Structure 1
């Protein structure tokens, strides 16, 4: 009896797990309700489209992408559509951008070329009646310089407008154009400053062009100087070695003289104290030294006295 209760509980758990697994599988698979009719379409590019993605007419889900394979240089997309949805020979298939995550769906609409009659089941829509996908990252990268100078709100609105436009929303296309025009107007106010910068750069370029010969001469002379220095590099290296030796010798002499000089200056009563003690004498000597030097200069510059003729 004990084992029977455990077996019943395990069985109920397994049944519940299987039911939940089946529900998850059906939800993720998103099968098309009712009977379906198979078709195919040839594309030059189906970037972003995956098996299991929606097939839509006028935004309404009517089918499912079953298989994507390569056929020569083209991509063949096999899909199914509910049997009560009409398909015509002029039907145009397009890989349409679905959301910002990067999902796509296969959109079906009526075009202007092809047979206006019904499209037989199993038929393939030619590449001339398909619109390929493209990498939206390339488009958004083109707006990157603009996004860098926009505040987050404006950048978000512009991105939403781009996505809605890619989904075929005509109103969003108008809004996108209007937003782009407003941004252009905001940047147009800086046109005068940009023009002034360009004019200044043009003047600089003209000035450089006028001094082209001088620049060539300067570059030539600089090159000659560098070549001369390079040719005399061994001599310069040798001179640096000699300078290093002289500096070492001066350092040795300084080390030898420093103790005696330090002793002369710092001894007691000391050289400094002695000089302070004879400050009046030094001041007197300094005050009379210019007069002494002037007298000495006068004596050295004075011409000798000539001896008179006939003097005995």
Structure 2
């Protein structure tokens, strides 16, 4: 009887295995718990992940922690894991939605969470059938295994064993130094606050340094040429070092001498400058009058404009010279002559009629001094001088008369 039962059980198992092998059967086709059952129209979206952890098909797809879809397929392309999600048409997500693999609890199952973008990025568009959520918009939460592995590294060979020693040494270093440490912290706070207040200036300085670096980079060839020629220049300066030292020593000696001279003559220099100040002031006040007065110097006794007043080749000129001998001698010789009678020294008059004087040259420059020609008659009375009537020819004045009338011209 037992043998018959064992044979029946084996036959049943073989029949079941044959049935399963002959059908296209998958465990995933069985009604397993997980994602929501979608009724009505739906669409699929593919998401890329660097690591899907232990996410499996039939896992849930949630929006705002509400299950709305299911994971259809998980596969690998190169080094990127891809997950195909099926969502109902009623789920409205933006085109730039983000996907995250999360856990229901610490040791719970994995699921895919879909959400609009956060932060400065604004939602736009609409997520539609067949679209792809790239790696830039997908993330995976940290696994418990990863946390425990990191903790094991810290506990086994990390710094936990040395925490007591570190704490003891910190206590020794800080005990009795509380005021100094408090001062350091205060200064550090002030320093950080100053940096924060000048953040804009620091940014501008960095930008200026960046602009300078760009300009230097643009002049890289010129700078390289200058650097290449710098050794030759330094060599030349090294050869001329002795001469430069002598020059600097001589310059230092000159500076000391000049300082000594200026110090010694300081009072005289200041006095000379003070005496010169009124003269310069009057010269400045003279303005344009001084250069205009100098125009007569080169054409004495005629003004510069006399050449424009004469038409033709010749001109006639009469000169009457009134002389007060006493005042002239007092003015030139600084003599205080006594007065005898009505006048100490008689006065006289010289009348010089000049004829056939050559015309001044018509030019833009200063005309030369004209020399009168013809005859001149002088009549002097009461001067105690011999009466004379010199005769002038076309070569100029009589020398003796010229000395009396125009001593500067006669010379």
**So what's the TM-score if we normalise by structure 1?**
0.38
- What TM-score results when the alignment is normalised by the length of structure 2? 0.29
Structure (1 or 2) with the larger CA radius of gyration: 2
Higher relative contact order (CA 8 A, sep 6+): 1
Which structure has the highest helix share of the two?
1
